[in-house]
Amino acid sequence: MGRLYIAASVLTSSAVRRALVVVGLLAFARSAHAVPYETFVDANDQADLEDLVVAGDLTEDTYNELLDLLETGVDLNTANRAQLYALPNLTYEDVDRIIAFRDGQRGQITDPGALVTAGVLSEDKLLAIASFLIVGTTNRDFQIRGWIRAQTRFTIGDDLLPASLLRGRFTLRKGLTAGFAGVLTRLQVGKPIYDPNRDSLVADPRGYNIVLPKIFVRYDSERYAAIAGSFRAGFGQRLVFDNSTQYTANGFYSDDQIIFSADLDRACRLSTGELSTNPCSGDAAAEYTTPDWNWRDGLLGVGAGFKRLEVGAGWIQGYLWASIQQRRIYQYELVNAGTCEDPHDDTDPACVAPIIGVRDEDNPLAPAPRHSFQTLPGVFQERLVGANTAYFADRRNSVGLTLYAADEVDLVDGIDLGTQEWSRLPLGTVASGNDGGVDFGAMGVNFTFGRGWLDIGGEGAFSFDKLADGPGPQAGGGGPAGILRLTATKGKQELEAVFRYYGIDYANPFARPISQPDEFDGQRARDEVGGRLRYTNTSKLFSIRALLDLWTPISSLREDSILGRSQPKIDTFLRADVRTSQQLWLGLWLRYQDKDLRQGGQDQCFEVATDTNEDGEPIPCAGRQLTTIVRAKYAPDKTLAFTGMLQHQLLDDGLSMTSQFRTKFRQDASAWLIALYRPSPRLRVRARLRYFDEAFNDDDDTYLERSFTGLIDTAVTIRKRDIVRVRFDVKRWLDGRESTQLRSPNPELTFWLMYEMRL
């Protein structure tokens, strides 16, 4: 059911139109008790979500969640409470009213507009979520519906075939969906093999390949779920198992997502190796090209379960899944486990990532360069099984159990490969000497409780692995973790409190609970204890959002820690949005971050250019950053809208002894202007301009980036349903760095073309 139909349906009610005047005043606010997306989300397509990211309204994590939700869709007739709650802008009260209305319609909502006329949802909320909805049909006959999308992009000056993508998703009958995603890669290297002549790894150079990384068939009904192929899964508070992009994960999810980077990629990624000179030196080092489309590795296998088995007044759910997936790995995450005793020991030359030489199939003994900064395919295989069961007394009260176990098998013969300590995989799990047992896993119990104005959710877990006898200072072997979330709602106010404890030895790469982005041995949900308060208050003319998150690494509390003291950290923001008139919204956002509250002064760093050293290991920073954003949105009518934003940042950047910022803050500035024009439902034109200046208080323009970017993006609907999208990007590098002076091309000109055929 399309958004245009929904809009036409709901606008038939004059009472609803009057309600829109009132509720529309809240369009810049996030509703009370809603999934904490950073702003009110009103998006028709991916381009709308991209604008929200660029304008600072959404984080990258939220963008990925919403993009997956947008392309997967939520079926109004089969979605459970958690799935409906994931829709933007909805509260638990909204969700419960939708389910009650659906039950009153015998499980079928054939016209979403009825939600407005029945007073279940306001008109602005329905229009805002319309693009995320799938309206089920009672037709059980085999009938293909769906879409096929072809995309390509190239940069002026490319000497390679354009990066290309083909995706499709089809509904074959009620509840039965299939999809795929294939890409033409031009920059991917071959699978590494062991070369006994060199006693090192080698891999074929970059070349053209057609890859089908995503393909699935899924069945989903009110009671049962099954999936085969590429998929994702998540349960509870996401502490034991979750690799989905869902905020409230509960079940299986289709996985056909393809991602892209708007920035160009280095045309040459080689180092000297056995040659006398570096093949990427000189002009070759400054040449850039269009990157390939990319993807995130998920699960590859089968899953099945029942969503609702009536038991007395409640019901039980149960899921089982298994996956066998070849995973890619960044080359610097590898270590030669046969020679390196402890990857934590950075002084041991045997623990440096192994060399990956360029393979010459015609002349294998000829001197060859080395690969650099590559993601390697086919290095190891991950085998995984998991299960979940839960009892629901009602929609708000439940208790569940989740567990999984996995092992990693080295696919490269002739060498024992392990992982560096900062890899997402628990240390030492990849080795050709694998005995076939479980390498790592986790299990835990989760619950939800809801009464009146209070909702409580929590999960306790314990991980297990084979690291207990390892040589590292964090030997592992498994450890505990827990999270508790309380949410109180009164009127238009919401207060959420989250308390979390993720043990040092909780080495679970499939944990994705609420956590901060700092990592311990490659994982976010580890070595962290803290609490978060989030407050929201909305009214007709303004909204206020505030957050205070305090946490500390558990390892810093140890007497033998490197710092010798605790390292408390803080992330806090205050955001206010005001509607000054029917056409104008104004916003102010203040955010303060400090990676060590006990350490002051500018002689530290908040961020570094690459976040990793030459061996790929994270560089620790303990600095501060204060971000101020001023935003205005002006919409003179329904067809035209302008958004302008100014951002200023003060941050520590005095890590180097030669840095001029050892006694003062570095200052960064950005300015955006976004225009959106929709003269008709069949045409959409957007334009975006951005000026970016890092360290503008530095008289020397050879330190960091200064650039100007712009794009124009046009989407046209043809043949009633098909869509043609044309986009043109330009980026001009303006700073005086040597790399900028040599950079080619500069300016960068990129052309995008997409055709989507609807069936």
> pLDDT tens, 242-251?
998 777 889 9
Query: Is pLDDT of 8 > 80?
Result: no
399 and 391 Cβ atoms separated by less than 8 Å: yes
| Alpha-carbon span 503 to 621, nearest angstrom | 21
Which of 27-31, 45-49, 448-452, 468-472 is predicted least confidently?
27-31
SS3 398: strand
CA-angle at 543, arms to 671 and 545, nearest 5°? 75
What gap in Å lies between CA 501 and CA 552, rounded to an integer? Answer: 10
Residue 741 φ/ψ, nearest 5 degrees: -65, -30
> Would the pLDDT of 178 be above 80?
yes
Does the pLDDT at position 35 exceed 60?
Answer: no
424 or 4, greater pLDDT: 424
Residue 480: predicted pLDDT: 96
Average pLDDT of the segment spanning 344-349: 84
pLDDT 10s digits, 121-137: 877 678 778 878 876 55
- Cα gap 604→469, rounded to integer Å: 36
Lowest mean pLDDT among 371-375, 449-453, 480-484, 604-608: 604-608
In terms of residues, how long is the chain?
759
Crossing angle of helices 60-72 and 46-54, in 10° steps, is 170
Q: Does residue 22 have a pLDDT over 70?
A: no
Q: CB of 65 within 8 A of CB of 247? A: yes
**Residue found by looking up tokens 């890409």 in the block:** 183
**250 token code pair:** 């509960």
Q: Give the tokens for residue 306.
A: 């029942």
Q: Measured between alpha carbons, how far is residue 741 from residues 290, 348, 694, 738, 758 in Å?
A: 20, 38, 17, 5, 46
CA 90 to mean position of chain CA atoms: 21
| Residue 56 confidence (pLDDT) | 62
| 270-271 sheet: strands from edge to edge | 193-195, 200-203, 356-358, 370-371, 270-271
Domain boundaries, the chain: 3-138
Counting residues of the chain whose pLDDT is more than 70, the rounded percentage is: 86
205 Cα distance to chain centroid: 29
What are 375-411's pLDDT values in tens digits?
999 999 999 999 999 999 998 899 999 999 999 888 9
Instruction: Extract the tokens encoding 331.
Output: 């080359």
Contacts of 524 (CB under 8 A, 6+ apart): 511, 512, 515, 516, 517, 518
Measured CA to CA, the distance from residue 677 to residue 641 in angstroms comes to: 7
Provide the phi-psi class of 644: left if phi over 0, else alpha when psi is between -120 and 50, else beta: beta
Beta strand 398-410 pairing with 299-311: unpaired
DSSP annotation string for 600-630: -SSSSBS--SSSB-TTSPBPP---EEEEEEE
Is the bond into 471 cis (omega within 30 degrees of 0)? no
| Closest by Cα among 734, 687, 669, 746 to 708 | 734
Q: For residue 109, which of 66, 76, 87 has the smallest C-alpha distance?
A: 76
- pLDDT for 149 equals 94
Q: Taking 50 as the threshold, does the pLDDT of residue 18 lie above it?
A: no
Give pLDDT tens digits for 248-264: 889 999 999 888 888 89
Per-residue pLDDT, 30 = 32
> pLDDT (tens digit, 9 = 90+) per residue, 546-568?
999 999 999 887 654 544 567 89
pLDDT higher than threshold 70 for residue 37: no
Quick one: pLDDT at residue 20? 29
Classify residue 364 as left (phi > 0), alpha (psi -120 to 50) or beta: alpha
Q: List, for residues 614-625, the tens digit of each pLDDT value.
A: 455 556 788 999
Quick count: other Cβ atoms within 10 Å of Cβ 614? Answer: 8
| CA nearest neighbour of 88 among 247, 232, 234, 222 | 247
3-state secondary structure of 649: strand
* Bridge partners, residue 629, by sequence: 589, 647
| Residue matched to tokens 């040092």 | 504
Model confidence, pTM: 0.84
Whole-number pLDDT of residue 2: 42
CA distance 621 to 624: 9
- pLDDT at position 34 over 60: no
Give CA–CA dist 109/107, Å, rounded.
7
Q: Which residue has 């971000």 as its token pair?
A: 627
Question: Which residues, 6 or more positions from 210, have their beta carbon under 8 angstroms from its beta carbon?
Answer: 182, 183, 184, 185
Strands 74-75 vs 176-185: parallel, antiparallel or unpaired? unpaired
pLDDT in tens, 273-287: 999 999 998 888 889
Residue 533 has a pLDDT of 95
Report the chain's mean pLDDT, rounded to a whole number.
84
Cα dihedral angle (98, 99, 100, 102), rounded to 10 degrees? 90
DSSP 3-state of 105: coil
What is the model's pLDDT at position 119? 81
User: What is the pLDDT at residue 437?
Assistant: 61
Least confident of 147-156, 365-374, 413-422: 413-422
Q: How confident is the model at residue 16 (pLDDT cuts 50, 70, 90)?
A: very low
pLDDT number for residue 435: 52
Going along 491-618, which residue ranges are E strands? 493-502, 528-538, 542-552, 569-579, 584-594
pLDDT for residue 354 is more than 60 = yes
Q: How far is residue 573's CA from residue 570's CA, in Å, rounded to a whole number?
A: 10
Q: What is the pLDDT of residues 705-735, one digit of tens each?
A: 999 999 999 999 998 789 999 999 999 999 9
Cis peptide before 747 (omega within 30 of 0): yes
Report the alpha-carbon distance of residue 495 to residue 487 in Å, rounded: 6
* DSSP class per residue in 555-579: GGGSTTSSSSS---EEEEEEEEEEE
Average the pLDDT over 171-185 and give the result.
91
Element holding 183 (H helix, E strand): strand 176-185
Q: Which amino acid is at 655?
A: L
* 8 Å CB contact between 161 and 186: yes
The CA distance from 537 to 546, in Å, is 9
CB contact at 8 A, 300 and 322: no
Residue with tokens 């298994």: 322
Six token digits for residue 20: 């829109």
